[in-house]
Amino acid sequence: MIEKKKVAILEVLLGVFVLCVFQMDAFPRFILNGGAASFEEQAQPVIEGYVAEGAGYFLKSHSDSLLLLNKIELSDLNGVDYAELQQLVDNALNNMQNAKTRYTSLTQTADTALYEPAVIDQLLTFDYYSFQQARGLNGIIFNQVETYLGTGDVRGIYHKILSDTQEIIDKLTVVKSIIDSGTLPETASLWRLNQSYSDTQLLGQYAAEVFYDITGKK
C-alpha cells in the first residue's frame, strides 16, 4: 500500500511538471530568449521566432525523456512496457530533431544578420560575476555563457546550442536502438542523457537571463 501511494504521488508530481513544460510554448522565456535584440532590427522577429520554436520543441523533448525515465524508474514495480517506452523515446527524438531544425535556421539567420552595436557593448561590459553570485547560478555552466556573451559572440552561443541538440540526438538514438531491441538501457547512459538535457537547458536559460537583464524585459 505504501509503495502504491509513493508511485501515485510521483506520477502526480511528474504530471504537474509535464503540464508546466507543455505550457511553455505560450510563454517563451527559457532558452536563449531576448538575444534577438543583439541583431539589426529587421532580423529580430525572425530570430526570436526560431528561438521560441526551438525552445518549445526542446522542452517537449525533455519532458518526453523525463516520462521515459519515470517509466524505467518504476519498471521494477510495474513491469516493462516496451511499446510505451518506444513511443516515449520516439517522441523525445522527434521533438529534439525539430528543435535542431529550428536552431539550424536560427544560426543561419544570425550568421548573415548584423549585430546591434549598443546591445553588444552592453554584453561586453556586463558584470557577469556579480550577476552569477546574486542569482546563485551554476558557476561552471554560467562561465560558458560568459565565454560567449562576454566577448559579444551571440552567434557562438547559438551554434553551441545547435551542437548540444545534436549531441542529445546522438544519445537518444543509442537509447532508442537498445529499447527497440527489447532491452533496458544501462543506467549510466540514461544519467548522461539527462545531464546533457539539463546542462543545455541551463545554458540557454542563463543566456536568456542575461539578455533579459540587459534589455529590461520581465
Q: Decide: 152 and 120 in contact? Cβ < 8 Å.
A: yes
Angle at which helices 2-23 and 44-73 pack, to 10 degrees?
Answer: 170
- Residue 178, classified by CB atoms within 10 Å of its CB into exposed (0-12), middle (13-18) or buried (19+), is middle
At 48 the pLDDT is 95
The tens-digit pLDDT sequence of the chain (218 residues) is 444 444 443 443 344 344 344 333 333 468 999 999 999 999 999 999 999 999 999 999 999 999 999 999 999 899 999 999 999 999 999 999 999 999 999 999 999 999 999 999 999 999 999 999 999 999 999 999 999 999 999 999 999 999 999 999 999 999 999 999 999 999 999 999 999 999 999 999 999 999 999 988 76
Q: Following DSSP, what letter does each residue of 134-158 receive, concatenated? A: HHT--HHHHHHHHHHHTTT-HHHHH
Rg (CA), the chain: 19
pTM for the full predicted model: 0.85
At 1 the pLDDT is 41
What are residue 39's DSSP bridge partners?
115
At 134 the pLDDT is 97
